[in-house]
Amino acid sequence: MFALAFCLSGACLAQTDVTPLTRYESKYYIIETNLPIARAEFIGTVMDATGKEYDRLFQGFTGVVREKQRVRVFAEREQYVAELERVSYAGNVEFTGGLFNGADGIVYTFEQDRLGNALRHECFHQFAAKVIGGRLPPWANEGLAEYFEDGTFIQGPDRLRVGDVPAWRGRVLREAWDQGLLLDVNKLLTLSGHAWIDNMSGPVASVQYSQAWALCHLMIHADGGRYAGYFDKFLGDIDKGADGELAFKKAFGPDVAPLQVRYDAYLDDIINGRIVRRE
């Protein structure tokens, strides 16, 4: 995966009426941007480290990334919104920090404080569309994207540390807990794509993302990796085309009550700062 070698190039693109973009190629990504070249180079370094982590978690899956993936990073939010309104059918793009556009396979975003987070999230969706043979259910698709989003890029060794637990996650979950907004595990597992989108205009908009993140974090890291093998089996069956709900029951069993108990305890640990970071 990501096996082809390429050279750097800096050709000017005329692909948008918004602003001229310059093309920069890192090892694994093509970055089209109107930001300074030094910024584009740094973005490429961060995303190359991120791509390695995607690859590590999804070794042996059906798809293979045989070409560099495209990312467009605009200097201004207004340029990003104008371009997406031209190329995408997605609505309310002015409220987004980034978007993977399935129609053209490109990730779009703009310069911002959390640019790396936005790229890691949206580029996971781009990666999953190429590599995973089946369709991830919303909780897994968004939960894993959030998991990579929260990774920390470590300069020097140029690697992405995954498994971090930002303090703001605990605050979101605590508020939802106090207000009775938390979804139970069964509800989270069975949310359809349409229901997920509908929730975006309601009080659980950010909650469902943090809950999905917490469930994926539990699957990967809890209890010394106790659930990681089952999670791998679940993802592997999805890769073979299995329905997400059936794949989960096959891997974890039909009764989610024991998982609900462990999940509640895990949320409590996150909320109260007992889980901070996995080195």
- Looking at 103, 131, 159, the residue that finishes a domain is 131
Domain presence at residue 138 = no
Domain presence at residue 64 = yes
Q: pLDDT tens across 254-266, in order?
A: 999 999 999 999 9
Domain that holds residue 189: 167-271
Domain presence at residue 154 = no
The answer on 16 and 112 residing in a single domain is: yes
Characterize the bridge pairing of strands 29-33 and 21-25: antiparallel
The answer on 127 and 176 residing in a single domain is: no
Q: In what order do the strands lie in the sheet with 69-74?
A: 12-13, 21-25, 29-33, 69-74, 106-110, 98-101
Residue 93: band (very low, low, confident or very high) from pLDDT cuts 50, 70, 90: confident
Token look-up 């996995």 returns 278
Q: pLDDT tens across 25-83, in order?
A: 999 999 999 999 999 999 999 999 999 999 998 988 989 888 999 999 999 999 999 99
- Position with higher pLDDT, 9 vs 198: 198
Q: pLDDT tens across 175-204, in order?
A: 999 999 999 999 999 999 999 999 998 999
The answer on 182 and 126 residing in a single domain is: no
Domain count for the chain: 2
Domain CATH for 93? 3.40.30.160
Domain presence at residue 3 = no
* Residue 73, H or E segment: strand 69-74
pLDDT at res. 17:
53
Domain presence at residue 6 = no
The answer on 107 and 211 residing in a single domain is: no
The answer on 126 and 17 residing in a single domain is: yes
- Between CA 209 and CA 169 the distance in angstroms is 10
Domain presence at residue 174 = yes
The DSSP secondary structure of 22-70, one letter per residue, reads EEEE-SSEEEEESS-HHHHHHHHHHHHHHHHHHHHHTTT-S----SPEE
The answer on 171 and 118 residing in a single domain is: no
- The candidate with the shortest Cα–Cα distance to 93, out of 73, 79, 104, 105, is 79
Domain presence at residue 173 = yes
The answer on 105 and 30 residing in a single domain is: yes
Domain presence at residue 278 = no
